[in-house]
Structure 1
Amino acid sequence: MTTARKIMQPTAECVRTTDTAGQAARRMTELGVGALPICGPDDKIKGVVTDRDLVRKVFGQGRDSSFPAGDLNQAEAVTIGADDSAEDVLATMTDHRIRRLPVIDNGRLVGMVALSDVARSLSNPQVGELVEALSAD
């Protein structure tokens, strides 16, 4: 069975709830990624900030780069367990219409799974279903 651990990128880093949108954007640029998990002071994942969030919810609304990244938290953080199957990853991404998913093990962030990681690990019909779900309005 292919698991999230096998397909994830193991170098995920958090942006802190107290960091600014500007700091999150610079960190994404440094790491060459389009999303970072948002972690609180207790290191628990509060959500994910994406490059799209920064454009639409911060800069697109006229806010400046000092806007707190932590204010972009979702009501509930969507994550996947490291030993969950690739099919579970697919189902979670499809159900929540997300392209990037933090991977946790024993409550700690161990990596991130992106749509491209899933696409490389699953059969073509499953990938098509995911892309269709994410593309729907």
Structure 2
Amino acid sequence: MTTAREVMSGGADCVQSDQTVGDAVRLMADLGVGALPVCGKDNKIKGVVTDRDVVVKVLAPGRDVDSFPAGSLSQDQAVTIGADDDTEEVLATMTQHEVRRLPVIDGDQLVGMVAVADVARSLPHASTGQLVEALSAD
């Protein structure tokens, strides 16, 4: 059984919910990533902010990235996966919630992220194809 821990990109950073979208964008650029988990004051994951969220919800409506709170972009409930959950659960969760990136937690601590690219590198082509097809369907 292959686990999320084995396919994830480790060492994910969080943007705090009280930081600005500008802070999140700069951190994404520094790290070379397109998404960041959003963590609250309790350091628990509140959601994920993506580069697309920034464009659609902040820039397009003309909001200021340096005053708009990053926490305002996170979901009502964070979708995560346990580090020791198997990859079938990773695929099922990504498909069910139609997400391309999943924060990986061990207990309540962020330990990494699983992205579609991680799945593509680690799992059989058929599994990857089914995931991509499910995420691309309208």
TM class by shorter-chain length?
over 0.9
Alignment of 1:17-28 (within 5 A): 17-28=17-28
- What amino acid does structure 1 have at the position aligned with 2:14? C
In structure 1, runs of 5+ residues without a counterpart are: none
RMSD of equivalent CA atoms: 0.7
Residue by residue, what CA displacement relative to the aligned partner does 1:2-47 show, whole Å, maximum 9, x if unpaired?
1000111111000000010111000000000000000000000000
2:95 is aligned to 94
| Identical positions, percent | 66
- What amino acid does structure 1 have at the position aligned with 2:129? G
Residue by residue, what CA displacement relative to the aligned partner does 1:42-67 show, whole Å, maximum 9, x if unpaired?
00000000001001111011111121
2:5 is aligned to 5
Alignment of 1:41-60 (within 5 A): 41-60=41-60
1:106 Cα deviation (Å)?
1.2
Please say if residues 86 and 121 of structure 1, whose CA atoms lie closer than 8 Å, have aligned partners that are also in contact.
Answer: no
SS in 1 for 2:111: strand
TM-score after normalising by structure 2: 0.97
SS in 1 for 2:9: coil
Number of aligned residue pairs: give it: 137
For residues 120 and 90 of structure 1, what CA distance do their matches in structure 2 show?
14
Runs of 4+ in 1 over 3 A off after TM superposition: none
1:123 Cα deviation (Å)?
1.2
TM-score after normalising by structure 1: 0.98
- What amino acid does structure 2 have at the position aligned with 1:99? R
1:115 is aligned to 116
SS in 2 for 1:61: coil
- What amino acid does structure 1 have at the position aligned with 2:18? T
